[in-house]
Structure 1
């Protein structure tokens, strides 16, 4: 039999630190050895240590505090940020996110025409390639500390016979007010998963290497369960939990 392939150095360091965190050698809230100390101990470079730490951050076991170092997080600990999910309709007809955050667009949203890819077409129950009005951009909140990538997709077929047949509707959440004005009673379904970001997404969200993002698709449906629009959120997944009221 061929010999087993040796573990990469960063993986060896990550496994060692993970075992120490789980058995209490490195207690929750306490600092880990510095990058220099770990590099010297394992005979590696600091970038290799950072790669190991990125894996532990993705596991939720390590928190890096700028200027202070690396600190242990309990595997049972809560993230520093909890965001309620859902929409509520205000008395004036506006739709607002349940988390109450005020998001600002990094750039003015501009509608473009795109063709529906298969995964989105499946959720919207339209043929793949059907044209859609699409808004995509980066949003920030809390003076830039919080970041998310936000997209709105509206199939052309959902707007036939309305004033938006020849002009783009607004992006969400104002889109939902526009749909309500057209006489639709709306409800929503969300689909949530994690995945690793593409390089440009990691850069926009300032994600360290090895940290996943939370990918949320929200479908707006009529009271007859016909999909009208889809909203997409991509959020940092390293120190965030989402709560749902059921």
Structure 2
């Protein structure tokens, strides 16, 4: 006689749907059974069904679309967007992203003065607390792409240049400005996933359970002297990044 399942009903519902999503019974993008159908199948109330679905939302396996229902999100499916990473120099002498996407800032980025926190000071090889020019922007591009973009430029990099008395432009225009100062530019990126903060999830319109991709890009000389640092926050739900090796 099979052993009776002693798990709470909501956990049984979550396990049942999880298995169905992972084995392809419920393909990515397809609707799951309704709350009413699941409640009848497991002999529970609809709040218990919602509790089971909440577990799957937190793990990124389902997405709830208001007015339409709950849809499967398979971790094995291919993302709809692949973005090549890198910076290239155009024949006109300007710099462009390798993915060719043109981003538009919601508001004109304004330079603010901040002090370098320990983690960024380490990457920029400057003392913690050194003043930085900082730009923040929420950027959008078609079709429906969003990213948060922050640029940091240490004051010490700008000594004896015209930018001692005026703020340099934000990236990507910053690359041309640094090049005009006589620097040969190279770039290194550091990538890590994490869960978003509430304001980041709201700005990027991230569903519950979707991670954030954080990219730190250091602009440096051939001698590996850091000149600037950028921080990108990208949605991690339907996106992959590619890097040439």
How far apart, CA to CA, are the structure 2 residues paired with 1:194 and 1:159? Answer: 32
Shift of 1:89: 0.6
**Residues 8-27 of structure 1: CA deviation (Å, up to 9, x unaligned):** 87665433322222334435
1:87 equivalent in structure 2: 87
Whether contact under 8 Å (1:38, 1:49) holds in the other structure is no
- Summarize the Cα distance change of 1:71–1:160 in structure 2 as closer, same or farther, 3 Å threshold: same
User: Helix, strand or coil: the match of 2:188?
Assistant: strand
Q: What whole-Å deviation, never above 9, does each CA across 1:61-112 have from its counterpart, x for those lacking one?
A: 4456676544445443211111111111101111111111111101111000
CA deviation after TM superposition for structure 1 residue 237, in Å: 0.7
Q: Check the 8 A contact 1:28/1:74 in 2, yes or no.
A: yes
Change (3 A) 1:74 1:195: closer
Name the SS for the 2:199 alignment partner: helix
Q: Secondary structure at the match of 2:26?
A: coil
Is 1:17 the equivalent of 2:17? yes
Aligned to 1:3: none
Distance in 2 of aligned mates of 1:9 and 1:166: 66
More deviation, 18-27/214-223:
18-27
SS of the aligned residue for 1:129 comes to coil
Q: Counterparts of 1:27 and 1:174 in 2: how far apart (Å)?
A: 43
Q: Is the 8 A contact 1:202 1:208 kept in 2?
A: yes
Q: Residue 223 of structure 1: CA displacement?
A: 1.2
CA change 1:28–1:210 in 2 (3 A) is closer
Counterpart pick for 1:52 among 48, 52, 55:
55
Q: Is the alpha carbon distance of 1:111 and 1:31 closer, same or farther for their aligned partners in structure 2, counting shifts above 3 Å?
A: same
Look up the match of 1:158. Answer: 157
Gaps of 5+ in 1: 1-5
Is structure 2 residue 229 aligned with structure 1 residue 226? no
CA RMSD, aligned part only?
2.4
TM-score (norm 2): 0.87
- 1:208 is paired with a residue of what secondary structure? coil
The size of the alignment, in residue pairs, is 237
Aligned pairs for 1:125-136 (under 5 A) are 125-136=125-136
Larger Rg over CA atoms = 2
Q: 1:43 aligns with which of 34, 42, 45?
A: 45
> What's the TM-score once normalised by structure 1's chain length?
0.86
Q: Distance in 2 between matches of 1:227 and 1:162?
A: 16
Identify if the C-alpha distance between structure 1 residues 100 and 7 changes in structure 2 by more than 3 Å, giving closer, same or farther: farther
Are positions 1:176 and 2:175 aligned together? yes
| 1:215 equivalent in structure 2 | 214
Change beyond 3 A, Cα 1:161–1:13 = farther
**Is the 8 Å Cα contact of residues 51 and 209 (structure 1) preserved in structure 2?**
no
Secondary structure at 1:203 match in 2: helix
> What residue ranges of structure 2 are gaps of 5+ in the alignment?
1-5
Take 1:15 and 1:213, find their aligned partners in 2: how far apart are those partners? 25
